[in-house]
Amino acid sequence: MKSKPVLTLDDLKKIAAGSEAEARKNNWAVTISIVDDGGHLLWLQRLDGAAPISAQIAPAKARTAALGQRDSKIYEDMINNGRFSFLSAPGLEGLLEGGVPIVVDGHYVGAVGISGVKSSEDVQIAKAGIATLG
């Protein structure tokens, strides 16, 4: 039997606080979502001024990154490069840049998904949150 780390509520609070701090520093109104390794929503936070649709997009990006164990941008790039059939991949809806997996000691334990600003800025916010884990 293997053992692996799992996200705790304290971890979620750290990631969310780091993400929020990065967003606020740049005056970006976004939604922050965090999922576990199975793509199950653990945290959802919509900052004041974030578009309502961002509360659906952010968790979808996070779920895609968690289940695929890679940045959601990879899927967006595949589609943009002509692999349109990937749009039919089962269970994946957030095929947009902005989902970043959380890796601890080589184990994929979840992902952060951000929505509300440019995709590269969404990633910047997600990575700032993940960095709080050390």
CATH code, residues 9-131: 3.30.450.150
Whole-prediction pTM value?
0.96
How far is the C-alpha of 53 from the C-alpha of 98, rounded, in Å?
14
| Structural domain boundaries in the chain | 9-131
Please give the pLDDT value at position 28. 98
Give pLDDT tens digits for 43-56.
999 999 999 999 99
Q: Within the chain, which residues score under 50 in pLDDT? A: none
Please give the pLDDT value at position 91. 85
- Two structure tokens written together for 98: 């902005």
Please give the pLDDT value at position 98. 98
Give pLDDT tens digits for 88-106.
989 889 999 999 999 999 9
How far is the C-alpha of 35 from the C-alpha of 47, rounded, in Å?
18
CA 14 to chain centroid, in Å, comes to 14
